[in-house]
Chain A
Amino acid sequence: MLETIGVASVDDLFGDIPAPLRASGLNLPPPESEAELADRLCDLAERNRVDLAGFLGAGAYRHYVPAVVDQLLLRGEFYTAYTPYQPEISQGTLQTIYEYQSLLGELTGMDVVSASHYDGATATAEGALMACRATRRERVLVSHAVHPHYRETMRTYFSGGELALDEIPLVADGRGAGTTDMAALERMLADPDRPVAGVVVANPSFLGLLEPMAEVSRLAHVAGALFVAVAEPVSLAVLASPAAYGADIAVGEGQPLGIPLSYGGPYLGILGCREPLVRQIPGRLVGMTTDVDGRRAFVMTLRAREQDIRREKAASNICTNQALCALAASIYLAAIGPHGLRDAAAMGAARATELETALAAAGAPRLHSAPYLNEFAVRVPDAAEIHRRLLHRGVLAGLVLADVEPGDASLADALLVCATEVTTSREIEMFATALREEIERGRQLALSGIASGAFGADDAGAAI
């Protein structure tokens, strides 16, 4: 090869690197054989604990994934293919993306669903930016009950421009406590000097509650704003769809559709819209067309919105999508079917009812009273400590809400817990029993603490 090139050594090919800037190798460990590497990876994987009774949701959900999903994802023709820029030899990827767009269209009711974004958080941020472009307004309202990571991501995405992001507060108490405050939303929308481009509300909310989405839609539209709904796709088998309650843009996290938890990614950003907004939607789209022989074929389309064509004027800088994750979601939906998806969602609700009853009996009642589907917050004294103690008893007791919302007094001493169709009655019983014992233990400790305090006071008294 060197002879064909006409150089004496490989070093000669790097002559353009200026001598003072040349590096001399890497300071990294030596190579490993596959057998050694496999051993190392097993060791690392085993240092994670995934065998606990898990009640964590909070934006990423454990579901049953039919075996056929991963078997098909392992087809090298899918996972080692590039972006389908050459449609003649990419019809497999292209048709699966078109089908993904169609399946998510059925779930959300949106006319157009993009070929996918990175995750729920970035899809939400892109949905909000899209509302600004479409309305030529510069202010977005987001409910405080949207996932905190989504709100943080939106703030980051908004930090580059002149756009404003304001949070809609939650109802403080009463029947609707924890849901988005409609009166506050109406006031915020009424400011004539700061017209609103989009209103972003999640259903179910981060706290698991069902929001008054039809009312949000009405208020947003009266003010000339677009309504961006953050939806959870499995729940859409049983809950009203974003289109049904009037959303203009639907976004969400597609991970529950057959994608492993994998400590946070890769996941699947769902982003869809009504037809009139199609030219504002960022990211890839695949359309059906014909080839020169008149046969049905699929192709990436409306590409004039994208960065490789429009450069600095593109709708977004997004270049990739999460094609393989979108494929996983499609295979999952095809394998589980409409009845299976409904069963998964309804079974999650049934298990959650069981969980609510068991936890309340153990001394951890619900924090809110608004309706929920399969996730809810419970009041637990000294939540962080009890969560830690339960972990050592084999129970992953949901999320300590104060860990993600440290400044929110209403969420101090609360756990966010969730059940899905894979949650078992035995796990629920184990959680409730351990929780009851730990709450009791905490109470005993507190009593003895008071006793020792009293003892100290007595001492002091004795000293007097």
Chain B
Amino acid sequence: MSAAGNRLGPTLFERSRHGRGGDKVPHPPKDALARIPAEHLRTEGPNLPELAEPEVTRHYVNLSQLNYAVDTGFYPLGSCTMKFNPKINEWAARLPGFASLHPFAPDEIAQGTLQLLWELEQALAEIGGMRAVTLQPAAGAQGELTGILMVRAYHRSRGDLARTEVLVPDSAHGTNPATASMAGFKTVSIPSAPDGGVDVAAFRAALGPQTAAVMITNPSTLGLFESRIGELLEAVHEAGALAYMDGANLNAIMGRFKPGEAGFDVMHINVHKTFSTPHGGGGPGAGPVGVGDRLLPFLPSPRVLRETDGSFRLERPGERPTSIGRVRSFVGNAGVLVRAYAYIRAHGAAGLCEVSDDAVLAANYLKSRLAGVLDVPFSRPCMHEFVASGATLKRETGCQTLDVAKRLIDYGFHPPTIYFPLTVEEALLVEPTETEALETLDLFVEALERIVGEAHDDPELLHAAPTSSPVRRLDETTAARQPNLRWRGMTGSQTPCPD
């Protein structure tokens, strides 16, 4: 791993030296601010660091080398789809025509981006089997909020005010219940059945005239396709509720299952998962939302519209009064969407189907290889990810899943997602994606085999891990009890500068 051997350096503030830098923009005339009354002006400048460009460059290059990244190694992070980010996408988003276009540019001079967004909407609608798509939400979680607010608007438009609950399986992402709360609904948690699917009896019992929507992740966060999905969707609609699909795991099913056609009313899509836009160390993403006929009138505004003459335009303010309104400024994360568009055009219909096939193949291969190494609680074929468990290992050696994960770092791998889903003891959620070579998968299996051996022979190796990383395990308790969230040069409360 590239990070090995590297150490943290001083912060920008510690590197600052009075008088350095400051030649990037022209100097203004002395009286530039003379017309502004003094009460509006700052009395002393912000205490920002002063650095010359060589120091800035080394600061950030050195920091970058402390990171693990898809560009440096394998990232089997379940539910996150850490696939390779094609470089052409980065190049495309930086084309001046895309990058320098002002969001209030009149439609007439924004035809290229508007066409790209419109075509992307069509492609995502086809992939999801949906009637229409909005590209406005800035991330998956905001897509969820958009979807659930549309559900709320739908029921209200029918005068149905009694629907106050949203059903969420207990294996769902935490954003699902948090979204329901934000949209003013009460979350009702549905237990999982022993086979990893939704407990259908509990599900039916919880459905009723008070149910506004059901949020289902399919494939589930256990990496399993909900085989009774048809039955579940029928029950939802019989109860007068709507079905929300968390599209986080869309990478498994492109061309094989179209949620909208199967009966889902609304679905968000994480383009930073399935459509290869980079995670950026935590964002930005984009969370397009597809809808069926029922929710079509409620899509956020503005939509991108195609005129009969083939030109494109944005919906005007107030043009569609049934809309839930805006969920953010402007049209969306257009810069991210350019990358998703490039990915879809590069792959085309056949390529996207192959992506899902290969992702599922890679996951099943890893699952089969690891079946003799760790517990693999669900034996049926998985989709693009699978859950393993360190429960037996913990019982036999005292080494927990956390220790296994940290030891993987010493072997040069990013750990899988751990302790999620919450429903599996000592869980490791492994998602290889379709972009990893077979030899990488084999090396990962070998590393886990050796780690399990170490757990039996020398468990201290696991407890002490990682030892090769820039820092070792952290004191998270002190970080939370006495939060130090901002550099304050004057207080001297900082940990000493590393050398």
**Contact present for B495 and A1 (CB under 8 Å):** no
**Contact present for A307 and B85 (CB under 8 Å):** no
Is A31 in the interface zone, CB < 8 Å from B? yes
The segment from B134-142, B200-208, B236-244, B449-457 found at the interface with A is: B134-142
**Contact present for A45 and B96 (CB under 8 Å):** yes
Which residue in B329, B364, B485 is a CB contact (below 8 Å) of A5? Answer: B364
Known: A29-B349, A264-B332, A335-B56. A321 touches B282 (CB 8 A): yes
Nearest opposing residue in chain B for A30, CB measure: B348
Is A331 in the interface zone, CB < 8 Å from B? yes
Which residue in A266, A287, A307, A349 is a CB contact (below 8 Å) of B141? Answer: A307
Binary per-residue interface labels of chain A (321-337) against chain B in the complex, 1 for a CB within 8 Å, 0 otherwise: 11111010011011111
**Contact present for A80 and B85 (CB under 8 Å):** yes
Residues on the B chain within 8 Å of A15, using CB:
381
Least CB distance from A369 to B in Å reads 12
Binary per-residue interface labels of chain B (1-21) against chain A in the complex, 1 for a CB within 8 Å, 0 otherwise: 111000010011100000011
**Contact present for B64 and A290 (CB under 8 Å):** no
Residues on the B chain within 8 Å of A198, using CB:
none
Is A12 in the interface zone, CB < 8 Å from B? yes
| Complex Cα spacing A257 to B461, Å | 45
| Complex Cα spacing A223 to B297, Å | 40
Is A135 in the interface zone, CB < 8 Å from B? no
Is B333 in the interface zone, CB < 8 Å from A? yes
Residues on the B chain within 8 Å of A113, using CB:
485-486
Is B317 in the interface zone, CB < 8 Å from A? yes
| Complex Cα spacing A81 to B474, Å | 20
**Contact present for A25 and B255 (CB under 8 Å):** yes
| Complex Cα spacing A121 to B42, Å | 25
Which residues in window 324-379 of A have CB below 8 A to B?
Answer: 324-325, 327, 330-331, 333-344, 346-347, 349-350, 353, 371, 373
**Contact present for B66 and A92 (CB under 8 Å):** yes
**Contact present for A37 and B180 (CB under 8 Å):** no
**Contact present for B381 and A13 (CB under 8 Å):** yes
Is A192 in the interface zone, CB < 8 Å from B? no
Nearest opposing residue in chain A for B327, CB measure: A156
**Contact present for A350 and B92 (CB under 8 Å):** no
**Contact present for A266 and B138 (CB under 8 Å):** yes
**Contact present for B24 and A10 (CB under 8 Å):** no
Residues on the B chain within 8 Å of A174, using CB:
none
The segment from A234-242, A437-445, A447-455, A456-464 found at the interface with B is: A234-242
**Contact present for B85 and A263 (CB under 8 Å):** no
Least CB distance from B317 to A in Å reads 6
Is A196 in the interface zone, CB < 8 Å from B? no
Least CB distance from A310 to B in Å reads 7
Which residues in window 43-89 of A have CB below 8 A to B?
Answer: 43-50, 52, 54, 56, 58-60, 62, 64, 66, 68, 70-72, 74-84, 86-89
Least CB distance from B499 to A in Å reads 10
Residues on the A chain within 8 Å of B25, using CB:
64, 336, 340, 343-344, 347, 421
Residues on the B chain within 8 Å of A156, using CB:
149, 300, 324-327
Binary per-residue interface labels of chain B (207-227) against chain A in the complex, 1 for a CB within 8 Å, 0 otherwise: 000000000000000001111
**Contact present for B280 and A79 (CB under 8 Å):** yes
Least CB distance from A154 to B in Å reads 9
Residues on the B chain within 8 Å of A387, using CB:
106
| Complex Cα spacing A420 to B242, Å | 49
**Contact present for B281 and A323 (CB under 8 Å):** yes
Query: Interface size bucket, A side?
Result: 35 or more
Is A111 in the interface zone, CB < 8 Å from B? yes
Known: A44-B112, A262-B334. A121 touches B329 (CB 8 A): yes
Is A246 in the interface zone, CB < 8 Å from B? no
| Complex Cα spacing A371 to B35, Å | 8
The segment from A96-104, A137-145, A182-190, A427-435 found at the interface with B is: A96-104
**Contact present for A324 and B22 (CB under 8 Å):** no
Which residue in A42, A77, A301 is a CB contact (below 8 Å) of B67? Answer: A77
**Contact present for A334 and B480 (CB under 8 Å):** no
Which residues in window 47-88 of B have CB below 8 A to A?
Answer: 47-51, 53, 56-57, 59-61, 63-72, 75, 77, 80, 82, 85, 88
| Complex Cα spacing A333 to B24, Å | 11
Known: A21-B257, A153-B327, A343-B25. A266 touches B284 (CB 8 A): yes
| Complex Cα spacing A22 to B225, Å | 12
**Contact present for B138 and A118 (CB under 8 Å):** yes
Is A276 in the interface zone, CB < 8 Å from B? no
Residues on the B chain within 8 Å of A71, using CB:
57
**Contact present for A320 and B282 (CB under 8 Å):** yes
**Contact present for A337 and B485 (CB under 8 Å):** no
**Contact present for A31 and B350 (CB under 8 Å):** yes
**Contact present for B360 and A13 (CB under 8 Å):** yes
**Contact present for A349 and B36 (CB under 8 Å):** yes
Which residues in window 1-30 of A have CB below 8 A to B?
Answer: 1-2, 4-7, 10, 12-18, 20-30
Interface size on B, residues (CB 8 A): 202
Known: A93-B67, A107-B46. A147 touches B262 (CB 8 A): no
Is B321 in the interface zone, CB < 8 Å from A? no
Is B394 in the interface zone, CB < 8 Å from A? no
Residues on the B chain within 8 Å of A30, using CB:
348-350
**Contact present for A89 and B48 (CB under 8 Å):** no
Is A293 in the interface zone, CB < 8 Å from B? yes
Which residue in A40, A43, A297, A347 is a CB contact (below 8 Å) of B8? Answer: A297
Least CB distance from A437 to B in Å reads 20
Nearest opposing residue in chain B for A265, CB measure: B333
Is B123 in the interface zone, CB < 8 Å from A? yes
Which residue in B33, B48, B254, B480 is a CB contact (below 8 Å) of A341? Answer: B48
The residue among B182, B381, B406 with the most chain A CB atoms within 10 A of its own CB is B182
Is B396 in the interface zone, CB < 8 Å from A? no
Residues on the A chain within 8 Å of B104, using CB:
56, 58-60, 399
Which residue in B3, B46, B369 is a CB contact (below 8 Å) of A236? Answer: B46
Nearest opposing residue in chain B for A266, CB measure: B284
**Contact present for A285 and B280 (CB under 8 Å):** no
Residues on the A chain within 8 Å of B331, using CB:
263-265
**Contact present for B329 and A120 (CB under 8 Å):** yes
Least CB distance from A171 to B in Å reads 16
Which residue in A17, A261, A267 is a CB contact (below 8 Å) of B99? Answer: A261
**Contact present for A75 and B348 (CB under 8 Å):** no
Is A426 in the interface zone, CB < 8 Å from B? no
Is A446 in the interface zone, CB < 8 Å from B? no
Is A41 in the interface zone, CB < 8 Å from B? yes
Nearest opposing residue in chain A for B335, CB measure: A262
Is B158 in the interface zone, CB < 8 Å from A? no
Which residues in window 102-122 of A have CB below 8 A to B?
Answer: 102-103, 105-107, 111-113, 115-116, 118-122
Residues on the A chain within 8 Å of B471, using CB:
87-88, 91, 291, 293, 295, 297
Which residues in window 352-379 of B have CB below 8 A to A?
Answer: 352-353, 357, 360-362, 364-365, 367-369
Residues on the B chain within 8 Å of A14, using CB:
225, 256, 360, 381
**Contact present for A308 and B174 (CB under 8 Å):** yes
Binary per-residue interface labels of chain B (293-322) against chain A in the complex, 1 for a CB within 8 Å, 0 otherwise: 000000010000000000000001110000
Binary per-residue interface labels of chain B (226-240) against chain A in the complex, 1 for a CB within 8 Å, 0 otherwise: 111110000000000
| Complex Cα spacing A101 to B11, Å | 12
**Interchain Cβ contacts under 8 Å between A and B, 25 examples:** A13-B381, A15-B381, A44-B113, A45-B112, A46-B97, A75-B64, A92-B63, A93-B282, A95-B8, A105-B486, A119-B328, A149-B326, A162-B184, A239-B40, A265-B328, A289-B478, A297-B8, A306-B174, A312-B178, A317-B141, A320-B282, A325-B283, A334-B59, A338-B46, A404-B317
Which 10 A-B pairs have CB atoms at the shortest separation, nearest pair first?
A264-B330, A45-B97, A76-B71, A324-B280, A47-B112, A266-B284, A264-B103, A31-B348, A262-B335, A118-B138
**Given A17-B225, A396-B109: 6 more A-B contacts, CB < 8 Å:** A72-B61, A81-B280, A88-B466, A153-B325, A278-B483, A295-B495
